[in-house]
Copies of this chain bind each other. A is one copy, B any other.
Amino acid sequence: MTVQSRSPERLVHVPLGDRAYDILIGPGLLARAGGEITSRLKGRKAAIITDEHVAPLYLEALMDGLQTDGIEAVSLTLPAGEKTKSFDHLATVCDMVLAARIERNDAVIALGGGVIGDLAGFAAGIVRRGVRFVQIPTSLLSQVDSSVGGKTGVNSRHGKNLLGVFHQPDLVLADTSILDTLSPREFRAGYAEVAKYGLIDNPAFFEWLEKNWQKVFEGGPERIEAIAVSCQSKADVVVEDEREMGRRALLNLGHTFGHALEAATQYDSKRLVHGEGVAIGMVLAHEFSARLNLASPDDAKRVEEHLKAVGLPTKMSDIPGELPGADVLLDAIMQDKKVKGGKLTFILTRGIGQSFVADDVPSSEVLSFLKEKLAK
C-alpha cells in the first residue's frame, strides 16, 4: 500500500489590493478549472480564446469541466504564432466576446501560450472597459512570465507590444502537466525566462538551475518548483511596481536586444521565437555589461554556457538566415518602449543575479558593440 504524498500543488498569491489574485501551479488543474473559477468569480459565462495547436489537445476538456460547474462557455480558435498578436485579431476577439454577451463579472479565458494570453487579456481589458480574465497558460513561457502581472498587448508595424493595457487576471491556472505536449524548442524558449529570474536577482536560483535543469525539463517536482519560484519572483516585482515605472523594468533583462532581434526577423517563429531572442539578449546584456567594465566577462561566459547546455541559441549567428546591420538593430531598439526622452534605457548587470536599470546608455556604445558582435 502506498501512502499518497501531500499534493504537489503550489499557490502564489499576488497581493494587489482589489486586484489581488491567485496563481495555482500543479498537475491536473485544467480539469478543475470550473470549480476554481466559480469559487472566485460571480459570472457564469465565459469566452475561451485559444489557438489551433492547443485547441485539439485541451479545449474539449476545459469546456467539459466548465460545463460541469455550470459555466456557459463559447470558444474561438485562432491561428498559432506571434502574428496573431495583431490589432486585426484583437478586433475579432472583442467582437466574439461581445457577441457572447460577456458582462463585467463574466470571464474571458485565455487557453494558450503568451500570444493568446496577451491578446485575450487585451480584449478582456477593453471590452466594456474591463471584464474578468482567467489565464490558463499552456506554454512554459506563459506559465512563468506572461500570464502573471497584467501586461497585455499586441504588436504594431512600429514594434512589439506597442499597443496594450494593464489588466490583471483574476486567476491563473498553471497546469504543469499540460507542458508535456509542448515542443522541446518551445520548452527551451520558456526556460530562458526561468533562467532570467536567477540572473536578475537570485544567484542561488541560477545555481540551482545549473544543477537541476534536466529534471525541470523532465517534469516532476523540480518543474513545479522552478515554475513556482519564477511566478513568485515575477509577482514580487509586479507588486512593487505594477505599472512599470521603475523596478519592473528589470524583467526586461535581455529583452531590449531580444525584441530588436525579433523585429529584425519579422517575428518569423521559424527563425526565432521570443524566448530564444531573450536567451541571446541575456548573453548580449552580460557581454555588453562586461564591455562597459561593469561585470566580469566570466559571468557572461557562465550564462552562455548554461543556456547553450539546455539547447538555446546564445549568439546572433545562431539565428538562421541573414540579419540586418547594426544600425537597423539600433533603430529597432530606439523604437522599443524603454526609451525615455531619446536616451537609451537598458538592463545591465554587475554579475549573475545583480542586474540593474541604467537609463543613460549612449546609443553610440550600443552601436559599436552590435557592430563588433555582428562581425564575428
Contact = CB atoms under 8 A, between A and B. Distances in A.
Given A129-B165, A164-B129, A94 B156 contact: yes
Number of identical protomers: 2
A94 B163 contact: yes
Contacts of A91: 87
A99 B335 CA distance: 10
Contacts of A243: 129-130
A61 to B, nearest CB: 27
A105 interface: yes
Contacts of A341: 42-43, 103, 105
Contacts of A340: 103-105
A197 B91 CA distance: 35
A312 B61 CA distance: 56
A129 B101 contact: no
A298 interface: no
Interface string A232-270: 000000000001100000000000000000000000000
A222 B126 CA distance: 38
A125 B166 CA distance: 10
A158 B103 contact: no
A95 B164 CA distance: 13
Contact of A128 (B128, B129, B337): B337
Given A125-B165, A129-B164, A165-B125, A339 B98 contact: no
Contacts of A95: 156-158
A26 interface: no
Nearest to A167: B165
Given A95-B156, A341-B43, A341-B103, A162 B335 contact: no
Interface residues of A, number: 36
A163 B87 contact: no
A12 interface: no
A281 interface: no
Interface string A306-330: 0000000000000000000000000
Interface in A330-346: 335, 337, 339-341
Contact of A158 (B98, B129, B166): B98
A166 B130 CA distance: 9
A260 B104 CA distance: 20
Contacts of A42: 341
Enumerate the 7 nearest inter-chain pairs by beta-carbon distance, A residue then B residue, closest first. Answer: A98-B158, A129-B164, A128-B337, A126-B163, A87-B91, A98-B156, A94-B163
24 contacts: A87-B91, A94-B156, A95-B157, A98-B159, A98-B162, A99-B158, A103-B339, A103-B340, A103-B341, A104-B337, A105-B341, A126-B163, A126-B164, A127-B163, A128-B337, A129-B151, A129-B164, A129-B165, A129-B166, A129-B243, A129-B244, A130-B165, A130-B243, A165-B165
Given A98-B158, A99-B158, 20 more contacts: A87-B91, A98-B156, A103-B339, A103-B340, A103-B341, A104-B337, A105-B340, A125-B165, A126-B126, A126-B163, A126-B164, A126-B165, A127-B162, A127-B163, A129-B151, A129-B165, A129-B166, A129-B244, A130-B165, A130-B243
